[in-house]
Chains A and B, each alone.
Chain A
Amino acid sequence: MSELTLNPTAGADAPRYYLRDEHHPENGTLLGFWLYLMSDCLVFACLFAVYGVLGRSYAAGPSGADLFDLPLVAVNTSLLLLSSITYGFAVLEMQRKHLRATLVWLGVTGLFGLGFLSLELYEFAHLIHEGAGPQRSAFLSSFFTLVGTHGLHVTFGIVWLVTLMFQLGKHGLTEANRRRVMCLSMFWHFLDVVWIGVFTFVYLMGVLP
């Protein structure tokens, strides 16, 4: 993938230049991935803005104080925070070139991610069952859009994580795989950063009288 992005600037002797550049510290992939995360940040900023505008338009329906179960959100938050630190352990083991320990920590991270996702799906199912689905009010539409988009990111993060674990199992800690682990690390920690905004702005501020 970086091959394609590097070729236009490399000129006629592109393949040779590329091989030299593969191990270069300023490999563009991580910077490019950071730029993707920043654009994702703008997507979330828009969704936060929508929620900020519509978050109190209940249409005579239930409000956040009626619906949100803060202990559940606290468990969810701790699951995501724990998955962040376990991903950190995976990166540390990768730096020590311990393949098996890296895979174990990645697996633990995935399990915490799955736990987060199941609790969120349980919460959504519960809300919809109570008649507080996304069609009930502008508040609930924007709530489901914002929290659902975050949940969708976590889902794709887990898909990526499982794929990466298979690649690591097959090819080991190669240069390319280490780069992928670092990209997913940024993605995973970024999702945790977004979740800070969600639990503060949506859940905690939503139950305030």
Chain B
Amino acid sequence: MSAHDHDHDHHGHDHHDSGHAPSTLKGYATGFILSVILTAIPFWLVMGKAFNNSSTTALVILGFAAVQIVVHMVYFLHMNARSEGGWTMLALIFTLVLVVITLSGSLWVMFHMNNNMMPTMHDMRVRP
């Protein structure tokens, strides 16, 4: 009986059992419009050759991608510090740490390997 009461009470204010806030049309629409803008600008920057310098373009579009990922996380995946008692956020932060270590570590180590160990870059006389 008490289980039933609890169940009923719960459904009064929340329509799915996720512990997330219920989704709203406003949230999805905001996320979609922001995503369209944040997608269109990088494509335009690259296809329209807005910057002469490649590394400037790369940094700017990576910035747009980072912002768009946050937009998706907030508006589509409904990430916030409260859902599931903060455990989703904690898992996300832990994953991001690992992702950053994986990406930056791989690029850094392999870049130095390429610089120092490629036979073509090496002085051939020291090779037997």
Interface residues of A (CB under 8 A from B): 19-20, 23-27, 30-31, 34-35, 38, 41-42, 45-46, 48-50, 52-53, 70-71, 74, 77-78, 81, 84-85, 88-89, 91-92, 94-95, 175, 178-179, 182, 186, 189-190, 192-193, 196-197, 199-201, 204-205, 207-209
B65 and A182 form a contact (CB under 8 A):
no
Interface residues of B (CB under 8 A from A): 3, 6-7, 10-11, 14-20, 22-25, 28-29, 31-32, 35-36, 39, 42-43, 46-47, 54, 57-58, 61-62, 64-65, 68-69, 72-73, 76-77, 84-85, 87-88, 91-92, 94-95, 98-99, 102-103, 106-107, 110
**Minimal beta-carbon separation of A157 from chain B (angstroms):** 14
Q: Complex: how many Å from CA A205 to CA B107?
A: 15
**Minimal beta-carbon separation of B16 from chain A (angstroms):** 5
Q: Given A23-B10, A186-B77, A196-B68: A74 and B15 within 8 A (CB)?
A: no
* A20 (CB) vs chain B CBs: closest residue: B3
A200 and B61 form a contact (CB under 8 A):
yes
Excluding A20-B3, A38-B91, 12 further A-B contacts by CB distance (< 8 Å) are: A25-B18, A45-B103, A50-B106, A77-B39, A78-B36, A92-B28, A95-B22, A179-B16, A189-B76, A196-B65, A204-B61, A208-B54
| Secondary structure of the A contact surface, majority rule | helix
B43 and A70 form a contact (CB under 8 A):
yes
* B57 surroundings in chain A (CB, below 8 A): 208
With beta carbons under 8 angstroms apart, the residue of A31, A53, A70, A95 that contacts B16 is A95
Q: Complex: how many Å from CA A180 to CA B41?
A: 35
* A89 surroundings in chain B (CB, below 8 A): 28
